[in-house]
């Protein structure tokens, strides 16, 4: 493979990485939180809906990945492939990790609020804070993408 082709491959990886990594992370996070929701439903007799709803929270990382992909999507050239690779891969990794850890936060929130329903709202705070960090990665990926040559 020539050097030019390798560089172009990196650019394509950068374009698709946010979607792929965001989707992988969201799958893991939703699975973790979903398992906790199932476990909690074995113990309680009501409030199933909010557990299931909460377990879907990490799916937002996949959406961020899709938006970043659309912003990065352009003809790949040797001039822009480095930028595409850097922003795409790193934002994707941020979504991946945020989704996994948000899944754990949601699982803890579900596990805690099954015994004390009154803490349900407050127990969402850690998951919301993780979401905040992912939003930082998302917004600044969009800002940085504005500087990549078309």
Partner 1 sequence: MKYVVLMASLPPLGSLFEAATPPISRLKLESRLGLLESSDRHTLEQIANLIAWPSQPLERTDAAFLVEAHRFLASNRNPTLRRLVTQRLDMRTVVAAFRRRRRGEAQPPDGEVWGFGEWVGLIERNWSAPTFKLDVIFPWVRQAHDLLEEDDLIGFEKLQFSVVWTMLNRLGAGHAFDFEALIIYLARWSLVSRWSCYKGETAVARFRELVDAGLANHRELFSGVAQ
Which positions lie near partner 1, rule CB under 8 A? Answer: 31-32, 35-40, 42-43, 104, 107-108, 110-112, 114-115
Burial of 5 (0-12, 13-18, 19+ CB in 10 A): exposed
Least Cβ distance, residue 105 to partner 1 (angstroms):
10
Given the complex with partner 1, which of 16 and 120 has the nearer CB atom? Answer: 120
Given the complex with partner 1, which of 82 and 126 has the nearer CB atom? Answer: 126
8 A C-beta contact, residue 136 and residue 81: no
Least Cβ distance, residue 122 to partner 1 (angstroms):
16
Least Cβ distance, residue 19 to partner 1 (angstroms):
24
Given the complex with partner 1, which of 20 and 38 has the nearer CB atom? Answer: 38
CB contact set of 71 (below 8 Å; sequence gap of 6+): 141, 142, 145
Least Cβ distance, residue 52 to partner 1 (angstroms):
13
Q: What is the DSSP string of 42-59?
A: HH-SS-HHHHHHHHTGGG
Tell the residue number behind the tokens 């996949």, with chain if given.
62
Least Cβ distance, residue 86 to partner 1 (angstroms):
33
Given the complex with partner 1, which of 37 and 71 has the nearer CB atom? Answer: 37
Q: What is the DSSP string of 48-103?
A: HHHHHHHHTGGGHHHHHHHHHHHHH-S---TTTHHHHHHHHHHHHHHHHHHHHHHH
Given the complex with partner 1, which of 115 and 129 has the nearer CB atom? Answer: 115
């Amino acid at each position: 493979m020539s050097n030019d082709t390798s560089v172009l491959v990196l650019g394509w990886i950068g374009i698709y990485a946010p979607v792929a990594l965001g989707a992988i992370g969201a799958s893991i996070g939703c699975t973790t939180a979903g398992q906790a929701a199932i476990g909690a439903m074995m113990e309680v007799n009501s409030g199933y809906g909010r557990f299931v709803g909460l377990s879907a929270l990490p799916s937002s990382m996949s959406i961020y990945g899709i938006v970043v992909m659309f912003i990065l999507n352009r003809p790949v050239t040797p001039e822009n492939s480095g930028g595409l690779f850097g922003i795409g891969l790193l934002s994707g990794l941020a979504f991946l990790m945020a989704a996994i850890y948000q899944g754990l936060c949601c699982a803890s929130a579900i596990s805690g609020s099954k015994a004390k329903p009154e803490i349900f709202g407050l127990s969402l705070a850690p998951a919301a804070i993780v979401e905040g960090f992912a939003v930082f990665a998302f917004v600044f990926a969009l800002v940085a993408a504005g500087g990549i040559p078309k």
